[in-house]
Amino acid sequence: MTRIISPSILSADFMHLGRAIDMLNASQAEWIHIDVMDGMFVPNISFGFPVLSAARKVTSKVLDTHLMIVEPERYIDRFAQAGADLITIHEEATERVEAALQQIRKAGARTGISIKPATPVDRIVPYLPQLDLVLIMSVEPGFGGQTFIEGSLDKVRQLREAIDRTGCSTLIEIDGGITVANAGAAFEAGCDILVAGNTVFGSEDPTRTIEQLLNA
Ligand code: DX5
Ligand code: ZN
């Protein structure tokens, strides 16, 4: 079973983003999670292309890009050009999921779909053969530092079963409210990748916290 930690720079100190990325480069985190918000799909605005391309220049880690934007197909090519290795769109954000996934692939990135806490897993099962990753939101998207929604692990188990049944190699990522205390249960439920914002960047020793999450 894969175990990857993807720290979300949404919770980093933006005045010292370079230092945060240097820390991640030297850590056991294999991926870096980039939360893009448009103020429409979610009630918050974060950052976009300039931050992504700045990060791209200083890291060779996988840039795991989570687009919380409506009609993501409008911007997929530009995120790929800015250096996204993996582009995750929301199932709820477009009527043209299939076309968007093809567009991601064509742009040379790996494909991901995310679902909000209220969206059932069944909705993304038909896309599994085209997906490198499914991202289960374990908080309402929009803000870091929220509390983990307990039922999320049932969705992970359900998804794990569907993936095993179809024989796909799609990875499962979970995002929102991950702590050192619940990370072990998330891996056990079938997650391959844990996103962690506040737990990593709110820690006294982020490098050590990443290690603790990995070995939870
Ligand atoms: C929320 C974002 C998350 C968030 C996670 O909309 O998608 O990636 O930054 O933050 P924590 O780990 O603090 O819940
Ligand atoms: Zn995210």
User: Which ligand has the shortest distance to the CA of 64?
Assistant: 2
Would you say the CB of residue 139 lies under 6 angstroms from ligand 1?
yes
Residue 85 a catalytic site member: no
Q: Domain span at residue 125?
A: 4-214
The dihedral sign for the CA sequence 147, 25, 186, 117: positive
Candidates 38, 85, 132, 175; catalytic one:
175
Question: Can you tell me the distance from the alpha carbon of 84 to that of 81, in angstroms, rounded to the nearest whole number?
Answer: 7
Determine whether 105 is exposed, middle or buried from the number of CB atoms within 10 Å of its CB (0-12, 13-18, 19+): middle
**DSSP secondary structure letters along 144-208:** SSPPPPTTHHHHHHHHHHHHHHHT---EEEEESS--HHHHHHHHHHT-SEEEESHHHHTSSSHHH
Distance 106 CA to ligand 2 centre (A): 23
For the cut 80, the answer to whether the pLDDT of residue 1 exceeds it is no
Provide the percentage of residues in the chain whose pLDDT is more than 70. 100
Structure confidence at residue 112 (pLDDT): 98
CATH code, 165: 3.20.20.70
Question: Can you tell me the distance from the alpha carbon of 17 to that of 201, in angstroms, rounded to the nearest whole number?
Answer: 11
Q: What total number of domains does the chain contain? A: 1
Candidates 35, 38, 132, 192; catalytic one:
35
Residue 132 a catalytic site member: no
Structure confidence at residue 27 (pLDDT): 98
User: Which ligand has the shortest distance to the CA of 44?
Assistant: 1
Report the residue among 5, 40, 44, 139 best suited for mutation to probe ligand 1: largest number of ligand atoms under 8 A from its CB: 139
Would you say the CB of residue 7 lies under 6 angstroms from ligand 1?
no
**Ligand 1 atom having least distance to the Cα of 198:** 13
> What pTM, to 2 d.p., does this model score?
0.98
Amino acid identity at 83: G
Structure confidence at residue 163 (pLDDT): 97
pLDDT digits (tens, 9 = 90+) for 43-75: 999 999 999 999 999 999 999 999 999 999 999
Distance 181 CA to ligand 1 centre (A): 16
pLDDT digits (tens, 9 = 90+) for 23-46: 999 999 999 999 999 999 999 999
